[in-house]
Amino acid sequence: MADVAAAAGVSHQTVSRVLNNHPAVSAQTRRRVHEAIAGLGYRRNVVARALATGTSHIIGVIVSNTTLSGPSGALLAIEQAARTHDYWVAMVGLQSQEPSEMTDAISHFVDLGLDGIIVVTNTEAAKDAALAACGATPTVLVTSARTPPAYSTVDVDQAGGARTVMTLLRGLGHTRIAHVGGPDGDLHAAARLGAWREGLPADVDADALFATGDWSSGSGYRAAMEVLARPALPTAVFAANDRMAFGVLRALSERGLSVPGDVSVVGFDDIEGSECSIPPLTTIRQNHNALGRAAMDLLLEAMERKPARSHRVPAELIVRASTGAARRGT
């Protein structure tokens, strides 16, 4: 910067003013400085600027379970939204459910002097660890967990999406609707499970229609096989995510049951490939881009010390060929 100042015949402070678009610089000086910058190929040192201002224009994003399409889609959408606001993203993908890993990641981000942090998490424990560690750094959570009112949150309307599924299936005449749920402790799994149970007729034995998976397609296959081995066959299966729904489709296929003729199947997420399963899968689409934009907007508000608020992104039902009317008499 000193070189630029010398080349333009001004002080380093004037160069700084030009760089920051400070109004009190004459047009002529401004031009001379710009020429000197271009001539010397000068680039401002971002680290020194961060040290002097205490602001880095970088936000941190922490995602809990990156092997899933949901969190990783959210990460990428957030990064995209951040960049449209001229923020850059540092990220950590947690490998375990250990709260300590979350704590370490957050406190490193705080040390780094990041302008803000967005935490994408699906468990209460991870959320609590994040809030305990984030201190005064503006933080937004992408989660379905309840949070103290001081923190903004964003999530896709999980329960609403799941209720839409149940409304669709009930409207098609289904009553014995099985559910392949996600893992215990996962808040999305819990929200989808809750909506399923509430959408079931009161006289149906929910426990007999329920099995649990770990989000993987293999676990969906096994869960479906387990349910199909029980006395009363379901007429529809609502899987808590598309991958498990793939496993359900395969299980039904192997058992010689047609979809949707014998059994209807619904998933959740609308991942790539759902439109080309056999048959194409009815599912709930999560709008990651809207989620990412909302998270970034709320973080910007938090950085301006505006009051926290929460935003819920609606889920969209995508009806494909895997759902049809319930068979009479079953």
Selected range binding a second copy among 5-13, 63-71, 156-164, 232-240, rule: CB under 8 A: 63-71
Kindly state whether residue 136 participates in binding a second copy, applying the rule CB under 8 A: no
Task: Look at residue 19 and give the partner it binds from a second copy, DNA, none, a contact being a CB closer than 5 to 8 Å depending on partner kind.
Answer: DNA
CA distances from 111 to 16, 106, 108, 133, 229 (A): 26, 9, 5, 11, 54
- Give dist(CA 294, CA 82) in Å, integer: 10
Kindly state whether residue 53 participates in binding DNA, applying the rule CB under 7 A: yes
Backbone angles phi, psi at 312, to 5 degrees: -120, 125
Q: Are 301 and 152 in contact (CB under 8 A)?
A: yes
In the complex, the smallest distance separating the C-beta of residue 90 from a second copy, rounded to whole angstroms, is 5
Kindly state whether residue 90 participates in binding DNA, applying the rule CB under 7 A: no
Kindly state whether residue 23 participates in binding DNA, applying the rule CB under 7 A: yes
- Local structure of 188: helix, strand or coil: helix
In the bound state with DNA, the residue whose beta carbon lies nearer, of 13 and 167, is 13
Nearest Cα residue to 8 out of 46, 43, 38, 35 = 35
Nearest Cα residue to 240 out of 211, 200, 262, 261 = 211
Task: Look at residue 10 and give the partner it binds from a second copy, DNA, none, a contact being a CB closer than 5 to 8 Å depending on partner kind.
Answer: DNA
- Give dist(CA 100, CA 310) in Å, integer: 26
Kindly state whether residue 19 participates in binding a second copy, applying the rule CB under 8 A: no
Kindly state whether residue 325 participates in binding DNA, applying the rule CB under 7 A: no
Selected range binding DNA among 50-58, 187-195, 233-241, 309-317, rule: CB under 7 A: 50-58
- Local structure of 33: helix, strand or coil: helix
In the bound state with DNA, the residue whose beta carbon lies nearer, of 13 and 96, is 13
In the bound state with DNA, the residue whose beta carbon lies nearer, of 16 and 97, is 16
Task: Look at residue 16 and give the partner it binds from a second copy, DNA, none, a contact being a CB closer than 5 to 8 Å depending on partner kind.
Answer: DNA
- Local structure of 320: helix, strand or coil: coil
Please select the residue that binds DNA; options are 6, 7, 19, 110, rule is CB under 7 A.
19
Please select the residue that binds DNA; options are 35, 39, 45, 132, rule is CB under 7 A.
45
Please select the residue that binds DNA; options are 44, 285, 312, 327, rule is CB under 7 A.
44
- Give dist(CA 163, CA 274) in Å, integer: 20
At 204, list the tokens.
Answer: 């149906």
Q: Mind spelling out the 3-state secondary structure of 130-173?
A: HHHHCCCCCEEEECCCCCCCCCEEEEECHHHHHHHHHHHHHHCC
Task: Look at residue 9 and give the partner it binds from a second copy, DNA, none, a contact being a CB closer than 5 to 8 Å depending on partner kind.
Answer: DNA
Task: Look at residue 149 and give the partner it binds from a second copy, DNA, none, a contact being a CB closer than 5 to 8 Å depending on partner kind.
Answer: none
The contacts of residue 84 (CB under 8 Å, 6+ apart) are 296
Residues that bind DNA (rule: CB under 7 A) add up to a total of 28
Q: What is the chain's Cα-based Rg?
A: 26
Binding site for a second copy (CB under 8 A): 43-48, 50-51, 56, 58, 66-67, 69, 72, 76, 79-80, 83, 88-93, 95, 107-108, 110-113, 216-218, 220-221, 242-243, 246-247, 249-250, 253, 271-273, 275-278, 280
